């Protein structure tokens, strides 16, 4: 098959891949390709894949990553291996050309990359696009350009999707870190409050003990004063009684010495 027939079937070879075109304009395999994908009669339909078998993410871009995961699984790759084949390969880094100019050596390297690293996935991409890989001449410009552009665009799309998925998770991680910091600060405040409460309790206990000591001291002084007054009263009473007794004795003695009175 000539390059012109390839162009006639696909027009723009990258805009007419219904099984590979994503919502953001990148090229990516669909989990449920249509049997009539592509414009030519050589299209080969593939059975739909059960999306429930995928471990795709649950975020906003989870379905797109799930689609890539299903495609990778269908050819025996993990999504990490697919990402490596598309974007992390040293060959693809060499091929990356932001200016849009693709040299012949780059095209050959892209084609070699397909054959050696991901031939099975490449053939699936061609089938999803509605073309028979065996019916296209490998040296045709369209074939080589498909090999380079499809992988390059899909690699960029995968990096973008995974990057956006991580950016969606970043606020969650930031919120968790903030909550952890707040919990730590709250625990520190509670610890300080508890320490102050213990200190205040100790001070109150010391003050209570001091007040008890002062009260005991005052009670002791009062008891001493009361005991001193009673002793003085007893002493005075005893002294008074002695004086009365002495006076009585003296009177008796004085009466005995009066003339004409007998001693009784």
**What pLDDT sits at residue 24?**
37
**What pLDDT sits at residue 48?**
30
**What pLDDT sits at residue 162?**
67
Q: What distance in Å separates the CA atoms of residue 40 and residue 136, rounded to the nearest whole number? A: 13
**What pLDDT sits at residue 123?**
66
What predicted TM-score, i.e. pTM, was given to this entire model? 0.23
**What pLDDT sits at residue 57?**
42
**What pLDDT sits at residue 238?**
64
Q: Which residues contact 249 (CB under 8 A, 6 or more apart)?
A: none
The answer to whether 76 and 118 have CB atoms below 8 angstroms apart is: no
CA distances from 122 to 110, 113, 133 (A): 11, 10, 9
**What pLDDT sits at residue 27?**
38
**What pLDDT sits at residue 141?**
58
The answer to whether 24 and 164 have CB atoms below 8 angstroms apart is: no
DSSP H/E element including 145: helix 141-256
CA distances from 235 to 218, 223, 228 (A): 26, 18, 11
**What pLDDT sits at residue 215?**
82
Q: What distance in Å separates the CA atoms of residue 10 and residue 49, rounded to the nearest whole number? A: 25
- Where b means 16+ CB within 10 Å and e means fewer, 184-219 reads eeeeeeeeeeeeeeeeeeeeeeeeeeeeeeeeeeee
Q: What distance in Å separates the CA atoms of residue 29 and residue 17, rounded to the nearest whole number? A: 9
Q: What distance in Å separates the CA atoms of residue 89 and residue 107, rounded to the nearest whole number? A: 15
Ranges of H-type helices in 75-140:
79-83, 90-95, 104-117, 119-128
Q: What distance in Å separates the CA atoms of residue 69 and residue 105, rounded to the nearest whole number? A: 31
pLDDT means per 10 residues, the chain with 264 residues, are: 34 34 37 32 30 40 60 65 56 53 66 63 62 63 61 66 61 65 79 83 84 82 70 63 68 62 50
**What pLDDT sits at residue 216?**
83
**What pLDDT sits at residue 207?**
83
Q: What distance in Å separates the CA atoms of residue 260 and residue 257, rounded to the nearest whole number? A: 9
Backbone angles phi, psi at 29, to 5 degrees: -65, 145
**What pLDDT sits at residue 39?**
30
């Amino acid at each position: 098959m000539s390059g012109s027939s390839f162009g006639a079937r696909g027009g723009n070879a990258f805009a007419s891949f219904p099984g590979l075109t994503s919502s953001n304009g990148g090229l990516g395999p669909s989990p449920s390709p249509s049997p009539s994908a592509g414009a030519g009669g050589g299209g080969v339909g593939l059975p739909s894949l059960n999306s429930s078998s995928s471990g795709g993410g649950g975020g906003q871009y989870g379905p797109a990553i799930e689609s890539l995961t299903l495609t990778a699984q269908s050819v025996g790759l993990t999504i990490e291996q697919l990402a490596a084949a598309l974007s992390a390969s040293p060959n693809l880094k060499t091929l990356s050309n932001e200016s849009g100019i693709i040299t012949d050596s780059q095209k050959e390297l892209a084609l070699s990359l397909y054959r050696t690293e991901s031939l099975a996935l490449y053939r699936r991409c061609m089938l999803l696009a509605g073309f028979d890989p065996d019916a296209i001449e490998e040296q045709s410009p369209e074939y080589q350009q498909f090999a380079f552009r499809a992988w390059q665009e899909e690699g960029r799309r995968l990096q973008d999707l995974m990057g956006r998925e991580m950016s969606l998770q970043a606020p969650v991680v930031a919120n968790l870190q903030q909550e952890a910091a707040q919990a730590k600060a709250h625990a520190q405040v509670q610890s300080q409050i508890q320490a102050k409460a213990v200190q205040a309790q100790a001070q109150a206990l010391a003050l209570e003990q001091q007040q008890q000591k002062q009260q005991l001291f005052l009670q002791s002084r009062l008891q001493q004063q009361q005991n001193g007054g009673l002793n003085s009263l007893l002493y005075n009473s005893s002294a008074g009684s002695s004086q009365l007794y002495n006076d009585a004795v003296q009177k008796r003695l004085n009466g005995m010495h009066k003339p004409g009175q007998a001693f009784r």
